[in-house]
Amino acid sequence: MKKFRGLVIACGLVLGFFTQQAFAATKLIKVDGSSTVFPITEAVAEEFQKANSGIKVMVGISGTGGGFKRFGRGEIDISDASRPIKPKEVDLAKENGIEYIELPVAYDGLSVLVNLKNTWVDHLTVKELKKIWEPSSQGTITKWSQIRTGFPDKEIRLFGPGTDSGTFDYFTEAICGKSAASRGDYTASEDDNVLVEGIASDAQALGYFGLAYYEQNKDKLKIVPIDDENDANGKGPIEPSSQSVMDSTYQPLARPIFIYISTQAAKKEEVQKFVEFYLKNAPELVAEVGYIPLPKEAYAAALERFNKRITGSVFGGKGAKMGVKMADLLRMEK
């Protein structure tokens, strides 16, 4: 018994020592928000932690909306966002005295995906997408044949981001004309990997999410070219690619994605280091995870914004803005 007691005390001491060491040495940067931005932030965090031992970066995926809620309450340092901040979220931040710096980090071509075994879809128009996703289709548009004559008489099974997602806000506004206007009878998940799995395993499926998740699962999914029937944005159906996003022909689903840093957090040395590292390595890492990097000037402009601590959103805090072309964004940032 006595021996045992000694052992317990020894264990306790050792454990206590280690935890104390761990807490004393490690600085923590807390990031949460969009699962669309997650692959970039995760890649940056990984490289950053390799270069800076002693700083730990935690990256969550509660969706853009979820991230901004935590950001507005001051629970996290950085918020990943796949759309600009919304009025409600601006108010929440103001209430808690939180000011923020908005930095664009990449462009995403929001992608529409079907199963590899889907032989009938070669492209979809924006009108057809609207018919699939608009609120009035709930419970009524249930078969592929209702979308276009010639499509098979099979049930259409839908997968998409949940209501906390910035991708959901953006897609619904771009396609259905109003943010959050969507049917509700589909498999909704904030975790894009669940959507990938769902579409990849169901021949009658259709869904949408950020381009990076397609790039990582190219062998499992079929991407759908989108036709916005506006020849000014390029003729015919267009697939998201760095080319079509850069020259703004992939419309209306190309969009900038962001990180938001609270000014409070920006006072911390480790956060400064992380943001600088982020912008410096973004061109390479963004392309690596499957998004489209901004031009070099944009990252330089972003770094300047950060260094000058210019707060607020260039979009005026009004939420998702449609059809922001890369050139427009550059002008706005400057």
- Specify the DSSP element, H or E, that contains 22: helix 2-25
Q: Which stretch binds other proteins (CB under 8 A): 62-70, 79-87, 93-101, 245-253?
A: 62-70
Closest to other proteins by CB, 183 or 305: 183
Is there binding between residue 60 and other proteins (CB under 8 A)? Answer: no
Closest to other proteins by CB, 110 or 188: 188
C-alpha pair distances (Å), 160 with each of 133, 173, 191, 207: 10, 14, 10, 5
Considering only 52, 138, 264, 311, the residue that binds other proteins (CB under 8 A) is: 138
Is there binding between residue 139 and other proteins (CB under 8 A)? Answer: yes
Torsion-angle region of 312 (φ positive above 0: left; ψ -120 to 50: alpha; else: beta): left
Closest to other proteins by CB, 48 or 68: 68
Closest to other proteins by CB, 207 or 240: 207
Considering only 187, 193, 216, 311, the residue that binds other proteins (CB under 8 A) is: 187
Closest approach of Cβ 67 to other proteins, in Å? 9
Specify the DSSP class assigned to residue 55: E
Closest approach of Cβ 204 to other proteins, in Å? 8
User: What is the four-CA torsion angle of 80, 86, 92, 93, rounded to 10 degrees?
Assistant: 50
Q: Do 190 and 63 meet the contact criterion of CB atoms below 8 Å apart?
A: yes
Considering only 198, 210, 256, 290, the residue that binds other proteins (CB under 8 A) is: 198
Scanning residues 143 to 162, which ones bind other proteins (CB under 8 A)? 155, 157, 162
Is there binding between residue 226 and other proteins (CB under 8 A)? Answer: no
Q: Which stretch binds other proteins (CB under 8 A): 79-87, 193-201, 249-257, 304-312?
A: 193-201
Q: Residue 10 burial by CB count (10 A; 0-12/13-18/19+): exposed, middle or buried?
A: exposed
User: For residues 293-314, b (16+ Cβ closer than 10 Å) or e, as one string?
Assistant: bbeeebbebbbebbeeeeeebb
Closest to other proteins by CB, 106 or 320: 320
- In sequence order, which residues have a C-beta less than 8 Å from that of residue 147 and are 6 or more positions away? 124, 128, 131, 132, 141, 156
Considering only 188, 275, 286, 326, the residue that binds other proteins (CB under 8 A) is: 188
Which residues of this protein are in contact with other proteins, per CB under 8 A?
Answer: 62-63, 65-66, 69-70, 135-136, 138-139, 155, 157, 162-164, 178, 180-190, 194, 197-198, 200-203, 205
